Amino acid sequence: MKIINLIEILHPKMEILFVALNLPEKSNSNGHFFSGSLSFWNLLFDSGLITNRVKSPLTGDDEVFRSNSINFKKAVFGITDLCHDIVETNSSRVKISSERVQRIVQLVGKHEVKNICLIHGKVGTAFKSLPSLDRSRKYGLIGKLDKTNIFEMPFHCASIPQKHLEYKKLLTYI
């Protein structure tokens, strides 16, 4: 088993909790989320969720998740992985159990989370077990967990044109 160096960033109150799939090797080794490229950070900027560009993938966590100075309306964002204890770059090798979803449900119970943003297809699929979700929708608001809105969004590396417009929808919920 690999040592986990990348720790989720949570706050007592969050406008958005981003839920990715798992820890890629590179991100785990350097201790920074989305550190393989600027694609996630550029997507947040292009959607309006952050007001300044992140210049280095190694500073994005500090600028967006540990601070809120560049976040839209100074919103507080958090980040975790559905499989927060698995280090694997190839997502096809990541197996998901219902206990993983329950961990996120428990996090929402412990923290005041306004919106959850599911940012990988496997994460969205894992959440289909929640009865309150509309799985007929591909992206956008797919339901609620008590008072928390749940959004499924395209993966930042996916070749989906105009994917920033899907993320832009989150602005009205902040």
User: Of 171, 13, 124, nearest to 77 (Cα)?
Assistant: 13
User: Of 62, 117, 70, 121, nearest to 91 (Cα)?
Assistant: 121
Q: What is the pLDDT of residue 29?
A: 86
- Torsion-angle region of residue 120: left (phi > 0), alpha (psi -120 to 50) or beta? beta
What is the reported pTM? 0.92
* Domain range list for the chain: 13-173
CA angle 125, 168, 131 (to 5 degrees): 30
102-150 pLDDT, tens digit per residue, is: 999 999 999 999 999 999 888 888 888 888 887 777 889 999 999 999 9
Q: Which stretches of the chain score pLDDT less than 50?
A: none
Q: What is the CATH number of domain 13-173?
A: 3.40.470.10
